[in-house]
Structure 1
Amino acid sequence: MIAYRLIQAQEPPRIQDVPKPSPGPGQLLIKVGGCGLCHTDLMLMKRTTAEWSNMPPPLTLGHEIAGWVSQIGQGVVGFRSGEPVAVVPLWGSCGHCAPCRRGEENFCYHNSRLIGAGVGFDGGLAEYILAEARFVVPMGDFDPVLAAPLTDAGLTTYTAIKPALSTLIPGSTAVVIGVGGLGLLGVQFLRTLCSARVIAVDNDKTHLELAKAHGADNTLSSDTSTAEQIQDITSGVGANFVLDCVGAESTLKTGVAALARLGRLTLVGAALKTIPFGLHEIPWGAQLATSMNGGTANLREVIELARLGRIETIVDRYPLTHVEDAYRDLVDGKLRGRAVCIPETAEQMS
C-alpha cells in the first residue's frame, strides 16, 4: 500500500510503498476513507530528533481518520467487517483510570505524552491503518470523508464547549476566536447545543461569512478593539464563555478582556502563548481552562450530531497522492474548510 511517511526528523515526508499491516489481538485493520490534515502535522515535521524522544520516525503521518473495518483481530467484539468507523487520535491512555473508564481517554491520569495516530504510531495518510479497537467508534452510515475532521477539529471544540453549556442560557454570550476549521465547528456546536448569543471573531472575511452562515449572531474582525466591541454588544457584561481556537498572546488578551465575571475561557489553539494570571489580571470568579482533543464518549456524540445534520463538515478533498498540495494550501491559507486526503481505493468505494 502507499503511505505518506516522515522518514527522519526535519526531513520532508514522502510517499512510500509499505507492507499492508495485519491486525493483532485487540486490533482492527481499517481501510482509510479519509484523513484530515492539521497544523499539528506541520509542527511534527519540524521536530528535532531530541523532541521525538524515544518514539522517533519513521512513521506515517495523519491523525484525523475515518474509514471502514477491513479485518478484525482476535478478541475484538462489537464490530463487523465493512462498517464505517472513526478513530480517536490520542492512543496513550491506560484504559483503567477513572477518566478512561468514562470514555475521556484524553484526560488519562497516567498519560503524560501526546502519542497516537501519526505521533509515535503509524497514522492515517495511507490506504490502511491499524488501531486498537478501544479507540475506534462505529458511526452508522456516515461518510468517512466528512467524519475525518470531526475526530480532531470537531472533537476538540466539542470537548472544550461541553463543560460550559450549563451556563449558556438565554441572555448569555459565547465568543469563538478564530473561526477556521476548528472554530467554525465550534460556532455550530454552540448554535445547536445552547441558547447563547454566538459571536465569531477572525481576521479573515471569508471565515466570518461562513461563521455567519452557520449560526453566528455577530461577527467581528480581530483587532485591538474587539474586546471593547464585545463589551458593547453585551451591555458591559462581557462574554460568559470564550473559546480561543488560536492561542496567540493577542487572542488570549482579547478573550480575558471580553470575559464576564464568573465566565469561562477555554484555550484549544496551539500558538503556545501565555497571559498573566492573578487576582487582578482576570475578571473575578472567572475560569481559565485548557482542553486537548477528546475521548470515545464525546466522539460518539459528535458523530451523532453530524449524522442528524445538526453540524456541517466543510471539507476540501485531495487524492492521497496529492497530499503535498493539500499541505501547501493549508500553509497558504487557501482552504475553505478542512483538507481531507482520500486514498484512491476509497474514492472507488464511495
Structure 2
Amino acid sequence: MKAAVLHEYDETLSRDEFVRYQDVPTPDITRPDDVIVRIGGAGVCRTDLHIVEGIWRSKVDMALPYIMGHENAGWVEAVGRGVESVKVGDPVICHPLVTSGHCLACRRGDDMHATESRFPGINTNGGYAEYLATGERSLIRLPSTLAPKDVAPYTDAGLTAYRAAKKASRHLLPGQFAVVIGAGGLGHIGIQVLNALCAAEVIVVDRSETALALAKECGAHHTVQGGDDAVERVLELTHGNGAEAVIDFVGEGNAIAQGLAMTRNAGYYYIVGYGGKIDIPTIDMITSEKTIVGNLVGTYPELVELMALADRGLVHLATREYRLSEANQALRDLHHGKVKGRAVLIP
C-alpha cells in the first residue's frame, strides 16, 4: 500500500520534505479482534508537527521509520475471527486509542488511561496510509449522514474539544461566560459544543482575523483580537469579573498567563494546548480558588456523543482536503497557519 512515512526528525521544521510517500507492507490481521480499515480520511494535527520535531520522543517509544496519523475514519476492509460488531464495508470512525478492555480503567470507561493500549499514529503506525490496523473495541459505525473524510478529525481534535467543553458546560449557567482561546482546528469545534450543551455567552480570543471570522460562523457571541490588551477587553465583556470557564486551546506563549487572568475567582481554567508552562504562586491559587484542569483527548462514549451532535447538525468541521501524496504540503500549510479548521488526507 501507499503511505506517507516519517524517516527522520526535523527539530526546526525547515525541510521541504517531512514525510516520504512510498510503498509499505499492508497491515495484516494478527489478533481475533483486529480490524483493518480502508482509510477514507486522516486528519493532519499539530501533534503531527510536534512528532516531526521530535517532541514526543521522551513520551512514547517510537522507532523510525513510522507512519503518523491518529485521526482516522474509513470503511472496514477485513476483520479478525472474533469480531462481531462490525462487518466488511461498514463506514466507521476510529477512537484514537486501541485498548484491550480488560484493565480497570477500561472497565470504568476511562480509555485514555488504560494500562493495555496502543495509539495508532503516536506509538504505532497510523492512518497516513491506504489501510490502518486497529481493534474492534475502537470502532463506531457512522450514520449515513456522515462521510469518513468529513469526520476523521473528530477523533482527536473534535473529541479533545468536546471533552473540555463538556466539562465546562456542567457548571456554566445562563448569564455566565466561557472564553475560548484559539479558534483553530480544535477551538472552532469547542465553540459549537459549548453552544450545544449550555447557554453561557461564548467569547473567543485569537490573533488571526480568519480564525475570528470562523469563530463567528461557529456561534461565538463575542470575538476579541489577541494581543496585549486581550485580558482587558475580556474583563470589559464580563463586567470586570472574568469568565466562569476559560478553555485554552493554545497552551503556549502568553496564552496561559492571559487565560488565567481571564478566569474569575473560583472559576475553571481548562488547558488543552501544550508547549508552555503554568507558573502561578501558591498564594494566588489559595486566594483566587481557581481550578486548573488538564484534558487528554476523550473517551469512547464521548466520541459517540460527539457523533450524535454531528449527525443532528449541531457541530460541523471546517476542513481542507489534500491527497495522501500531498501530505508534506498539508503539514507545511498547517505549520504556516494556512489551514482554516482542519486538514484531511485522502488516499
Q: Distance in 2 between matches of 1:283 and 1:37?
A: 41
1:261 maps to what in 2?
265
Deviation at 1:22, TM superposition (A): 2.2
Q: Distance in 2 between matches of 1:159 and 1:210?
A: 21
Q: Distance in 1 between matches of 2:63 and 2:9?
A: 8
Residues 45-194 of structure 1 aligned to structure 2 (within 5 Å)? 45-47=52-54, 51=58, 54-91=61-98, 93=99, 95-108=101-114, 110=115, 116-141=119-144, 142-194=146-198
C-alpha change, 1:283 and 1:188, in structure 2 (3 Å) is farther
Alignment pair present for 1:20 and 2:26: yes
The one-letter code sitting in structure 2 at the alignment partner of 1:4 is A
Deviation at 1:304, TM superposition (A): 1.3
Q: Distance in 2 between matches of 1:208 and 1:222?
A: 10
> Residue by residue, what CA displacement relative to the aligned partner does 1:111-130 show, whole Å, maximum 9, x if unpaired?
7xx95111221100111111
Alignment pair present for 1:208 and 2:212: yes
CA contact (8 A) 1:256 1:282 kept: no
> Residue by residue, what CA displacement relative to the aligned partner does 1:216-256 show, whole Å, maximum 9, x if unpaired?
00000111221222221111221011000000141111111
Residues 273-288 of structure 1 aligned to structure 2 (within 5 Å)? 273-281=277-285, 284-288=288-292
2:3 maps to what in 1?
3
Deviation at 1:28, TM superposition (A): 0.5
CA contact (8 A) 1:102 1:297 kept: no
C-alpha change, 1:115 and 1:248, in structure 2 (3 Å) is farther
Q: 3-state DSSP class of the match of 1:294?
A: coil
The one-letter code sitting in structure 2 at the alignment partner of 1:101 is R
Deviation at 1:77, TM superposition (A): 1.4
Task: Compute the RMSD of aligned alpha carbons.
Answer: 2.0
Unaligned residue ranges in structure 2 (runs of 5+): 11-16
- TM-score, normalisation: structure 1: 0.91
Q: Distance in 2 between matches of 1:290 and 1:331?
A: 24
Residues 216-231 of structure 1 aligned to structure 2 (within 5 Å)? 216-231=220-235
Corresponding pairs, count = 339
CA contact (8 A) 2:50 2:56 kept: no
The one-letter code sitting in structure 1 at the alignment partner of 2:222 is N
Counterpart of 1:243 (choices 240, 243, 247) is 247
Identity of aligned residues (%): 38
- Which deviates more from structure 2 when the two are superposed, residues 193-202 or residues 127-136? 127-136
> Residue by residue, what CA displacement relative to the aligned partner does 1:82-115 show, whole Å, maximum 9, x if unpaired?
1111112234x5633444224330133x37xx95
Deviation at 1:288, TM superposition (A): 0.3
Unaligned residue ranges in structure 1 (runs of 5+): 344-350
Q: 3-state DSSP class of the match of 2:25?
A: coil
> Residue by residue, what CA displacement relative to the aligned partner does 1:296-328 show, whole Å, maximum 9, x if unpaired?
111111111111110111110011111111111
- TM-score, normalisation: structure 2: 0.92
> Residue by residue, what CA displacement relative to the aligned partner does 1:125-168 show, whole Å, maximum 9, x if unpaired?
11111101112222222211111110011000111121221211
Q: Distance in 1 between matches of 2:55 and 2:149?
A: 32
CA contact (8 A) 1:57 1:120 kept: no
CA contact (8 A) 1:66 1:85 kept: yes
The one-letter code sitting in structure 2 at the alignment partner of 1:328 is R
- Which deviates more from structure 2 when the two are superposed, residues 95-104 or residues 308-317? 95-104
